């Protein structure tokens, strides 16, 4: 086969290198030259990975199949930007910090520098630089190792694409392995790319995909990270620095330390000398550039939720996109969507409501306090999350008392195990009773202390009997607080024994089912709720988003909507996909109206009467857990629902809310109306100030007004005394406690402004266990 010009040049290179070589080396060199001359280019590529006897041109050519092969080039990972509901950016995150640009946005001196040092004959050769390959081969054979690379820019681009596509460690190792099959595949891909793209297009792709160190992928991100300027404005010295960084960015990463910066500076000077040698610049220009300092600016590029103004909301969005099938049918599809990035994500965040929540929390709880408050706001009828805030700053610094998980959310969205929800769960028993036909004044006689009459009095949804018939009974806040309670008065006073008796009446499984309809699930793992006798008293751990959304279902007259944080995702090409609320009717509208009617009284006749309402229709429920491990308030208007929790993230049972200082104030006990209630009130007032008030739908009095079969018993006339009747109901208690108001019967009650006696805590129990009545209790202060 006749020699061509490239073949003759190859032989000249070989002959120039054969002086005083060993016989084995001579044979390898001659074989390499022969392979190149006859067109078997890949044999030369493969030689650094093979050696010894038995290699023939025939054996090398049989398996080559040197035909162009199309390379799959998935989009490069780029940063994604989060927008609030008004379209303003508030966060960005990325798998790789990259901002792809076109070649005309790169300074000409940068293009010259990268070509000079990486592949100076790039615009002259084809998919493989034969001269460069042989030069590297001979150098490596002489040194006994790999001291010089021979891959063209096209081949390097192929390797980087394969590495970018890799999703497993095995795929990543295969993409960079120094093996004969990988080199052959690389060459076939390079041949196809040289036909598909112009040289400028290949260079553009190479500059965008390359890693430069310091977390910067692509020339634009690198220019901003290193020198605080776009790639179009790079100087000669800066361009040489970035061109030098590509070869081994982990070794020359300026972010690592002085030694790495020194290696980068030395590498920059190598590039400058090479540019001068190739006459791309003069020697004087090279020396002037070498006299300059490195110029490393160390520009911090925001690139994670921890750097966002609203980190908890950002983290929720990120995790939602990884777990919600709306963003991909499989885990890998969703992960790839986020990994590749380049997305513009419009969210439901309302920055005014977010600010209202943050400011209200900040007035009551300090960032340095060990107990932490968190809040979520959700729109009834859509499930759109408007705000997520917490008293602690997001981060990993223990010294600064930061927290590294999403306090307002469940674990699926980056949160923790949550806190037991306490008496906020009594609402689900109330709804079940109304749904079964009870009226607002229907009720039953609540004992002073409660024990299940039999284990079968409470059955979980699998039919298991879970009634607690032994052990200390459950109590309310003070002795003699039993008696007849209606759905209204029992709710306003949050009477424990009443709700246990009511749960027994309507059925434990039915109450659990009601809660599930409203989207209730455990914060820690989203698994099945604990179906125990004390379910109605909130022994399941919740997060503010879940609880706020459950209450939003009542506000929306029984329409449940999945919580939603993302309304639109626009890809890098401008194609947008809308994400609409996913809602369904889960509760009779009039049942929800009746519940709102009763829960409205919590502000005027119940546990929030000392805090007060917000000047518009509102309803809600306080909640304090057993032994004061956490305190809640969840409430809503027709326009907005919100839940506030406070507890100690170090462990609520190990670090309760007894004898604690929060927000600079000492608390003997923290109730739902102590801190969570006021935070809810102040944040909702501010969040809703520009929204026209909407009224609740009035109670259907024909269906739910008054009482039917559960009316209050009439007392004997001769025993009736003045002051023993309120709202038409007798309350013949030994100590005169007749109304179920906070001073006797609600664990969340505040100070006793009327001077009728000390406030006593009532939720003395967990899973049916009670603290004896004679347990000393410190008065609320």
Q: 193-252 pLDDT, tens per residue?
A: 999 999 999 999 999 999 999 989 999 999 999 999 999 999 999 999 999 999 999 999
End-to-end CA distance of the chain: 102
Task: Indicate the DSSP class of residue 394.
Answer: B
What pLDDT is recorded for position 754?
A: 33
Q: What is the pLDDT of residues 406-464, one digit of tens each?
A: 999 999 999 988 999 999 999 999 999 999 999 999 999 999 889 999 999 999 999 99
More confident residue, 754 or 254: 254
Which pLDDT score is estimated for 392?
A: 93
633 φ, ψ to 5°? -145, 130
Task: Evaluate whether 415 touches 563 at the Cβ level (below 8 Å).
Answer: no
- Residue 255's Cβ-count burial label (10 Å; 0-12, 13-18, 19+) is middle
Please count the CA atoms within 13 angstroms of the CA of 383 that sit on its side-chain side: 20
Residue 179 has pLDDT above 90, yes or no: no
Over residues 451-507, the pLDDT tens digits come to 999 999 999 999 999 999 887 888 876 434 678 999 999 999 999 999 999 999 999
Q: What confidence category does residue 165 fall into, taking pLDDT thresholds of 50, 70 and 90?
A: confident
For residue 598, which of 776, 407, 409, 727 has the smallest C-alpha distance? Answer: 727
* Predicted local confidence at residue 10, as pLDDT: 47
- Burial state string for 576-603 with b = 16 or more CB within 10 A and e = fewer than 16: eeebebebeebbeebbbbbbbbbbbbbb
Position 395 confidence tier, pLDDT thresholds 50, 70, 90: confident
With beta carbons less than 8 A apart as the criterion, state whether 373 and 646 touch. Answer: yes
Residue 159: pLDDT over 80: yes
Give the list of residues 6+ apart from residue 481 with CB closer than 8 angstroms, or none: 448, 495, 497, 733, 737, 740, 744, 745, 762
Which numeric CATH code is attached to 1-66+119-209?
1.10.3810
pTM: 0.75
Q: Which range (61-70, 212-221, 418-427, 571-580) has the least confidence?
A: 61-70
Task: Output the CA–CA distances (angstroms, integers) from residue 448 to 182, 198, 312, 496, 614, in the order listed.
Answer: 79, 87, 43, 10, 34
Q: What does the alpha-carbon distance between residue 561 and residue 605 come to, in Å, rounded to a whole number?
A: 30
Does residue 143 have a pLDDT over 50? no
Q: How confident is the model at residue 142 (pLDDT cuts 50, 70, 90)?
A: low
Write phi, then psi, for 46 (nearest 5 degrees). Answer: -80, -20
Q: In this structure, what are the phi and psi dihedrals at residue 753, rounded to the nearest 5 degrees?
A: -70, -25
141-155, 225-239, 637-651: range with lowest mean pLDDT: 141-155
Instruction: Supply the pLDDT for residue 36.
Output: 42
Higher pLDDT pick, 240 / 178: 240
Domain chopping of the chain, boundaries: 1-66+119-209, 419-704
Q: Which of 93-102, 276-285, 326-335 has the highest mean pLDDT?
A: 276-285
Pairing outcome for strands 566-570 and 576-578: antiparallel
Contact 524, 505 (CB under 8 A): no
Average pLDDT estimate for 698-714:
92
The more confident residue out of 127 and 113 is 113
- Lowest mean pLDDT segment, chosen from 104-118, 213-227, 326-340, 341-355: 326-340
CA neighbor of 543 nearest in space, from 372, 322, 364:
372
Q: Strand, coil or helix: what is 267?
A: helix
Q: What topology does CATH give the domain 419-704?
A: Beta-lactamase (3.40.710)
Mean pLDDT over all residues of the chain? 83
- Confidence (pLDDT) at 738: 33
- Over residues 671-678, the mean pLDDT reads 94
**β 97-98/216-217 pair status:** parallel
Whether residue 368 is predicted with pLDDT greater than 80 in this model: the reply is yes
Q: Predicted confidence band at 17 (pLDDT cuts at 50, 70, 90)?
A: very low
pLDDT value, residue 497: 93
Find, among 646, 644, 627, 629, the residue nearest to 371 by Cα.
646
Q: By percentage, how much of the chain surpasses pLDDT 90? A: 61
pLDDT of residue 441: 96
Nearest CA to 42 out of 25, 58, 65 is that of 65
């Amino acid at each position: 086969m006749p020699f061509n010009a490239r073949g003759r040049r190859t032989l000249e290179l070989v002959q120039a290198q054969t002086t005083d070589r060993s016989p084995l080396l001579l044979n390898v060199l001659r074989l390499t030259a022969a392979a190149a001359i006859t067109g078997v280019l890949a044999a030369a590529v493969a030689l650094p990975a093979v050696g010894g006897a038995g290699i023939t041109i025939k054996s090398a050519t049989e398996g080559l199949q040197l035909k162009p092969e199309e390379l799959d080039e998935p989009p490069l990972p780029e940063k994604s930007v989060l927008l609030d509901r008004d379209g303003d950016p508030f966060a960005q995150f990325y798998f790789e910090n990259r901002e792809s640009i076109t070649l005309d946005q790169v300074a000409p001196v940068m293009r010259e520098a990268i070509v000079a040092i990486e592949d100076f004959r790039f615009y002259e050769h084809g998919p493989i630089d034969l001269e460069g390959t042989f030069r590297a081969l001979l150098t490596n054979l002489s040194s006994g190792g790999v001291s010089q690379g021979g891959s063209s820019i096209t081949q390097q681009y192929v390797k980087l694409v394969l590495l970018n596509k890799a999703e497993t460690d095995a795929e990543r190792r295969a993409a960079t392995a120094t093996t004969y099959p990988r080199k052959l595949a690389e060459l076939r891909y390079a041949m196809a790319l040289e036909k598909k793209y112009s040289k400028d297009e290949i260079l553009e792709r190479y500059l965008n995909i390359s890693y430069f160190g310091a977390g910067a992928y692509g020339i634009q991100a690198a220019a901003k990270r290193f020198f605080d300027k776009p790639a179009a404005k790079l100087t000669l010295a800066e361009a040489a620095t970035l061109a030098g960084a590509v070869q081994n960015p982990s070794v020359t990463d300026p972010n690592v330390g002085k030694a790495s910066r020194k290696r980068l500076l030395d590498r920059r000077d190598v590039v400058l000398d090479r540019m001068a040698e190739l006459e791309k610049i003069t020697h004087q220009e090279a020396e002037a550039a070498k006299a300059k300092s490195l110029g490393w600016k160390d520009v911090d590029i925001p690139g994670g939720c921890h750097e966002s103004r609203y980190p908890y909301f950002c983290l929720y969005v990120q995790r939602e996109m990884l777990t919600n099938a709306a963003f991909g049918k499989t885990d890998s599809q969703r992960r790839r969507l986020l990994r590749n990035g380049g997305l513009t994500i419009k969210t439901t965040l309302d920055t005014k409501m977010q600010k209202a929540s943050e400011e209200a929390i900040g007035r009551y709880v300090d960032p340095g306090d060990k107990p932490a408050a968190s809040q979520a706001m959700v729109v009834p009828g859509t499930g759109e999350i408007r705000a997520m805030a917490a008293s602690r700053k997001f981060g990993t610094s223990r010294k600064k008392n930061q927290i590294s998980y999403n306090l307002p959310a469940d674990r699926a969205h980056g949160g923790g195990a949550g806190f037991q929800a306490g008496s906020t769960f009594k609402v689900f028993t109330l709804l079940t009773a109304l749904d079964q036909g009870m009226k607002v004044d229907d009720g039953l006689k609540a004992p002073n202390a409660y024990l299940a009459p039999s284990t079968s009095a409470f059955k979980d949804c699998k039919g298991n009997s879970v009634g607690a018939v032994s052990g200390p009974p459950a109590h309310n806040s003070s002795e003699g607080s039993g008696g007849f309670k209606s759905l209204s008065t029992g709710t306003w006073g949050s009477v424990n024994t009443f709700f246990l008796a009511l749960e027994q009446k309507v059925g434990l499984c039915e109450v659990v089912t009601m809660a599930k309809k409203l989207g209730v699930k455990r914060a820690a793992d989203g698994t099945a709720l604990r179906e125990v006798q004390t379910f109605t008293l909130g022994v399941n751990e919740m997060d503010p988003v879940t609880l706020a959304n459950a209450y939003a279902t009542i506000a929306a007259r029984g329409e449940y909507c999945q919580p939603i944080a993302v309304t639109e995702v626009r890809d890098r090409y401008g194609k947008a996909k809308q994400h609409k609320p996913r809602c369904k009717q889960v509760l009779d509208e009039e049942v929800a109206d009746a519940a709102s009617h009763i829960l409205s009284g919590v502000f005027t006749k119940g546990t929030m009467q000392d805090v007060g309402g917000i000047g518009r229709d509102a309803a809600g429920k306080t909640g304090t857990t057993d032994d004061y491990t956490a305190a809640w308030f969840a409430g809503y208007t027709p326009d907005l629902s919100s839940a506030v929790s406070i507890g100690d993230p170090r462990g609520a049972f190990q670090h309760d809310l007894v004898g604690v200082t929060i927000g600079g104030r000492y608390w003997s006990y923290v109730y739902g109306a102590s801190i969570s209630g006021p935070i809810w009130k102040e944040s909702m007032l501010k969040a809703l100030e520009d929204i026209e008030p909407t009224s609740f739908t009035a109670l259907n009095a024909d269906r739910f007004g008054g009482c039917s079969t559960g009316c209050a018993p009439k007392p004997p006339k001769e025993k009736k005394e003045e002051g023993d009747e309120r709202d038409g109901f007798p309350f013949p208690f030994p100590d005169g406690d007749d109304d179920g108001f906070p001073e006797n019967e609600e664990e969340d009650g505040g100070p006793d402004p009327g001077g009728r006696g000390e406030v006593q805590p009532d939720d003395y129990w967990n899973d049916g266990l009670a603290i004896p009545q004679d347990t000393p209790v410190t008065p609320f202060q």
